[in-house]
Structure formats: C-alpha cells, structure tokens
Amino acid sequence: MLSFRGKARSVRLVPVSLVSLWFGVLVVVAVACAPLPSASGGSETPALTDTSPPTGTIENPLPGSWEDSYVYIEALFVDPDGVSSGSLSLALDGFSLSYDRSADPSWRSVRVYDYVYGLEEGPHTVEARAQDILGNGPTVLTWSFSVDDTDPILTITYPVGNPLLANASVVLAWTGSDVPSGIDHYRVQADDGPMFNVGNVTSFPFHALAPGIHFFRVMAYDKAGNYNSLSDPPIAVATVPNPPPAAPPVVNATVNATTNAAIQVTLSGPDQVPAWGIGLIVITTAEAVAVAALALRPRGEAGRRAWLKRYGRT
Ligand SMILES: [Ca+2]
Ligand SMILES: [Ca+2]
C-alpha cells in the first residue's frame, strides 16, 4: 500500500491488482447469472409462465394411413418454456431411431423426424417423446400406420386384339385388384392424350377417334400410392377404318352449236370430288359441229351417198 500526505487531506492509493480482482469477481457473477446456452445454441432459460408439458402433434404419417415401404416420420413439440433437447426420442416398433431435429432459436418449437426404408407390409407403431426444460412431461405421442408394398394387378377386358371401330368410338373396360390396401383409383389415357382420373369405375368411353390405330392405357393406384409400372402398363389396341373411297366424277356436257362463241364443256362431280377432279375444256363452235357431224355420219354405201348429197359433197 502507498500513501501521500498533503495540506488538508491524505490520499490512499489502492493497488492496481486489487481493482482487477474486484472486476473479475463482478464478471464471474454476471456470467453465472446469464442464461445457459442450449444444445441448439438457443436459450433454455424458462419463462416460468407454463408448468404444462409440451404440446405434441403428429405430422407424418397420419394415423391409420397406408404407406409404401419408404416412410417419412415426423412429430412436432411446442412449449413456451422451451423443449429440452435431451428429452427427445423417436422410436418405431419399439426400436429407437437415429432421428434428426430442427428447432427455432428459442427451442420453443421442435421437430423430430427420420426416413425409414424397407418396412415389411403390415401395421407399424411410432412413439415420439419430449419434455420441457423444467422437466414437465414427457409428452408421449403414439400412433400406427400400415405398409403396402405390392403393386395392383390390372387387366383390360375390352378392346382385346385389334378390333375395328366402325363408329370411331370405344368403351374401354378393365378389371383391377390389390392387396393389402386395395384400389384407390384408376387413370386412363388414349394415345398421347391426357390421363384422366376416373375414380373407381372400371370403364371409360372414347369418341370421335380419327382413322387409324389407337392405343389405350389404364393405370391402377392402391391406397399407398403403388401403381402398375409405367414401363410395362396394360395396353389395348383398336383401329378406326378409313372412310369409303369417293364416288367417280360425273360428266355434264353442254354444247351450244348456234353461235360462234366459245363452248364450254365442264366436267363436274359430287361434292366429295376433290378440286383436282374438275376440268374445264374449251372448243370452238365449228369444232363442235364437225364432231357432231362425224358422230351422226350414216354407215354403208346408201348412207354415204345421202350424206354427201345433203352436205353437197361429191
Ligand atoms: Ca411447459
Ligand atoms: Ca398394394
């Protein structure tokens, strides 16, 4: 310790090391009173407003649902005090899952989830647990779902083979079955057209089909989302015949031999005759008369003489 004497008062100087000691004590007390960081980096300091356990919600799969062998499992826990990270658990059929989790910064809303592959067909049970950071709980969610890993079976009953569709229409018909969940709905398609969800009916009409061969496809979906393979779908074939050939053109000829004007001889046909089937020929009056005279010329010697006398020929 150092001391100085002055005129009216004395001054005592406290060693610097003692000041540092007091400051260090204050820092330690402040740190001790600060909220403890959680495993997620958020604060687990309770708000002390809620003594209830977390609220749990089943997110996926829904209770009683049908799933294929690939299942996503998720549960949500919410608590105003914050959810304790160490209290979380997720199990399937009694076996713990190495789940993942996601939480907001305060850890008041936490999701636990996992993906499961290759489950056997039949029922399965999930259990998810969580407590708040005060130890309230645990909240336990328990629910069941079922797995269907078998594709539906489908058979198209009409058309079979490749029938001719005289009226350009067909009513596609089929049968389908599935285990263990059963058929949920069918979808049908003609050629490259849209696929129609037709529900649970087993027939569907197509009308006004163009001439030519047509392909029809039916897809069956079970309640777990399985379907008959797109690479090998049930396909039916049918053909709409071409229309009958058009009637030959009809010739309508008009000859006007009384004038020297040009004469038109027109070839025309019914409406179905294409444009290229209609021709137009123009000849003169003299040519028309000569053609007619030759056509009417009598046969035999007597006739030849009468014809020469009539037309002044020798
Ligand atoms: Ca609570
Ligand atoms: Ca199935």
Pair (141, 192) in one structural domain: no
Which of 125, 149, 173 terminates a domain? The answer is 149
- C-alpha distances out from residue 296 to 253, 292, 304, 310, Å: 17, 6, 11, 13
Higher per-residue confidence, 275 vs 246: 246
Residues 189, 123 share a domain: no
- The pLDDT of residue 300 is 61
Q: Is residue 272 part of a domain?
A: yes
Q: Has residue 5 been placed in a domain?
A: no
Q: Which of 149, 146, 98, 143 is nearest to 125 (CA)?
A: 143
Q: Of the bound ligands, which one is closest to the alpha carbon of residue 44?
A: 1
> pLDDT tens-digit profile of 76-95?
999 999 999 999 999 999 99
Integer Cα distance of 76 and 48 in angstroms: 21
Question: Measured between alpha carbons, how far is 177 from 188 in angstroms, rounded to an integer?
Answer: 16
Q: Report if residue 186 sits inside a domain.
A: yes
Domain end point (choices 183, 217, 240): 240
- How much is the pTM? 0.61
Instruction: Kindly tell me if the per-residue pLDDT of 297 is higher than 80.
Output: no
3-state helix, strand, coil in the chain (%, to 5): 15, 40, 45
Is 165 domain-assigned? Answer: yes
Report whether pLDDT(298) > 80. Answer: no
If asked whether residues 116 and 44 sit together in one domain, one would say yes
Question: Are 75 and 133 within one domain?
Answer: yes
Chain centroid to CA 253: how far? 63
| Coil, helix or strand at residue 28 | helix
Residue at 117 is within a domain: yes
Closest ligand (CA of 68) = 2
The DSSP annotation for 111-134 comes to EEEEEE--PPSEEEEEEEEE-BTT
145 and 30 within one domain: yes
Cα(199) to ligand 2 centroid in Å equals 16
Asked if 119 and 171 sit in the same domain, the reply is no
Report the CATH number that the domain containing residue 137 is assigned in CATH.
Answer: 2.60.40.10
Relative to the alpha carbon of 150, which ligand is closest?
2
Are 24 and 143 contained in the same domain? yes
Shared domain check, 130 and 17:
yes
Q: Which residue has the tokens 């003692």?
A: 18
Cα distances (Å, whole numbers) of residue 146 to 66, 91, 114, 126, 137? 5, 16, 17, 11, 28
> Do 38 and 109 lie in a common domain?
yes
Rounded to whole angstroms, what are the CA distances from 59 to 71, 75, 104, 122, 280?
12, 5, 17, 20, 81
User: Among the three residues 240, 273, 294, which one is the final residue of a domain in this structure?
Assistant: 240
Residue 153 CA to ligand 2 center (angstroms) comes to 9
Range of the domain at 200: 153-240
How many angstroms does the Cα of residue 183 sit away from the middle of ligand 1?
45
Tell whether 125 and 170 lie within a shared domain: no
Same-domain check for residues 26 and 115: yes
Burial 217-249 (b: 16+ CB within 10 A, else e): bbbbbbbbebbbeeeeebebebebeeeeeeeeb
Average pLDDT over residues 47-63: 88
236: tokens are 């039916």
pLDDT of residue 21: 44
Task: Give the Å distances, CA to CA, from 219 to 169, 181, 199, 229.
Answer: 21, 16, 11, 8
Query: How remote is the CA of residue 74 from the centroid of ligand 2, in Å?
Result: 24
Span from the CA of 231 to the centroid of ligand 2 (angstroms): 18
Is 97 in the same domain as 115? Answer: yes
CA of 187 to the centre of ligand 2 (A): 16
Distance 85 CA to ligand 1 centre (A): 13
Ligand nearest to the backbone CA of 149: 2
From the centroid of its chain, how far is CA 307?
88
Residue 131: per-residue pLDDT: 98
Q: Which residues surround ligand 1, an ion (CB under 5 A)?
A: 50, 52, 79, 81, 132, 136
Nearest ligand to the CA atom of 67: 2
pLDDT tier at 51, thresholds 50, 70, 90: confident
Ligand 2 centroid from CA 190, angstroms: 25
Please count the structural domains in the chain.
Answer: 3
- Per the CB < 8 A criterion, the answer to whether 134 and 46 are in contact is yes
The ligand minimizing its distance to the Cα of 54 is: 1
